[in-house]
Amino acid sequence: MPELPEVETVRQGLLQGMLNKTFDDVLVRREGLRYPFPEDLPTLAGTTVVDIRRRAKYLLLDLDDGRVLLSHLGMSGRYTLFDSDEAAAAKPLLRTVNGGVPVSSFGDQTGHGGKHDHLEFIFTDGSRAVYTDPRRFGIVDLFPSEEEATHKLLASLGPEPFDPWGAKDLASRLQGRKTAVKLALLDQKIVVGVGNIYVCESLHRAGISPRREAGGLVRKNGAPTKRLEVLVGHIKDVIDEAIEAGGSTLNDFASVDGTLGYFAHQFAVYGREGQPCEKSGCGGVVRRIVQSNRSTFFCPTCQR
């Protein structure tokens, strides 16, 4: 599942392929994914992409007519960008197989024979962006920008783990919480999009047990403890490094799914159950436990 750094990598890739381009048409191949597609998707034609932002794991494409095209990759969503030469070479644009279900002719490049290429965005310069999503948990929405602040998917999100967010903000949200710090950091109302892998890595770097009570990292007067300040520094570092690793793998018109970011990144505890802790002088062994149905990897020797 793409996490925040991977989605940020996708955002950077889409910026390269979509910024300042004007939609010519949108091909819609099914009713929807997690939710039905907005009926007015075809009205994108004639609008221009003026910016691409990210809020948590939502990609927000700002259009020149004042609307926002929201896209969430769900479990398995990805975009593939084709320049005009590549798109022209893939003609005919639609093949019909399996009882009349139209299949993308880009199937060789996007995988799965094209049958999971649910949306195709065609730009006036002939380039295309194909959205592929085998598990169909992705989300697409289209709404006026003034509705963004109250949008049902965006309104209750916590702050992003970037500047100017800091230990003070986190302390105010953790104060009095009895829940385990690992679970609190995965709560999107406390901080958005850090994600399971990066929470495990940050706690390991900070030497904090994932089972520690979240409120215990806050002083009685509501100020962050030294340990919480250290943890916040590591969260920012881990996210920054992952974005950098993902960004360095991007090329123009490459497949934009962010998974390359995972491979480029070396994890110290995540997925390393039973292997020696990499912290120098620790000598511990990485353990896996399950918290709230999700795997936690940590070193019981140096994480207290």
Size of the site for Zn ion (CB under 5 A): 7
CB atoms within 10 A of CB 15: 17
- Minimum CB separation of residue 294 from Zn ion in Å reads 21
Contact pattern from residue 269 through residue 288 relative to Zn ion, giving x for each residue in contact according to CB under 5 A and a dash for the rest: --------x-x--x-x----
Alpha-helix residue ranges (DSSP H) falling in the chain: 4-18, 84-89, 107-110, 167-174, 181-186, 195-206, 226-247, 259-263
- Six-digit token pair at 109? 């490049």
To Zn ion, the closest distance from the beta carbon of 304 in angstroms equals 10
Choices 101-109, 190-198, 209-217, 296-304 (CB under 5 A): range interacting with Zn ion = 296-304
Nearer to Zn ion, 127 or 303 (CB): 303
Binding mask 184-213 for Zn ion (x = CB under 5 A): ------------------------------
Cα separation, 59 vs 7, whole angstroms: 8
Provide the minimum distance between the beta carbon of 279 and Zn ion in the complex, in angstroms, as a whole number: 5
For Zn ion, which residue of 26, 254, 264, 302 counts as binding (CB under 5 A)? 302
Integer-rounded Cα radius of gyration of the chain: 21
Output the six-digit token pair for 151.
Answer: 């949008």
Please state the closest distance from residue 11 (CB atom) to Zn ion, in A: 34
Closest CA to 282 of 265, 262, 251, 304: 304
Burial of residue 161, with CB atoms counted within 10 A of its CB: 0-12 exposed, 13-18 middle, 19 or more buried: buried
Q: Which is nearer to Zn ion, 106 or 298 (CB)?
A: 298
Closest CB 185 distance from Zn ion, rounded Å: 19
Residue 127 near residue 28 (C-beta atoms within 8 A):
no
Q: What angle do CA 9, 14, 18 make, to 5 degrees?
A: 165
Nearest residue to Zn ion by CB is: 277
Cβ proximity to Zn ion: between 14 and 286 the closer is: 286
Minimum CB distance to Zn ion, residue 286 (Å)? 8
Cβ 79 vs Cβ 13: under 8 Å = yes
| Closer residue to Zn ion (CB): 24 or 273 | 273
* Residue span binding Zn ion (CB under 5 A) among the ranges 4-12, 228-236, 255-263, 294-302: 294-302
**In this structure, what DSSP letter does residue 218 have?**
B
Which residues within the stretch 218-277 sit at the binding site for Zn ion (CB under 5 A)? Answer: 277
Please give the single-letter amino acid code of residue 173: R
Separation of alpha carbons 133 and 272, rounded Å: 29
The nearer residue to Zn ion, 7 or 277, going by C-beta atoms, is: 277
Residue 68 or 230 with smaller CB distance to Zn ion: 230
Active centre residues (catalytic): 2-3, 57, 294
Residues found near Zn ion in the complex (CB under 5 A): 277, 279, 282, 284, 299, 301-302
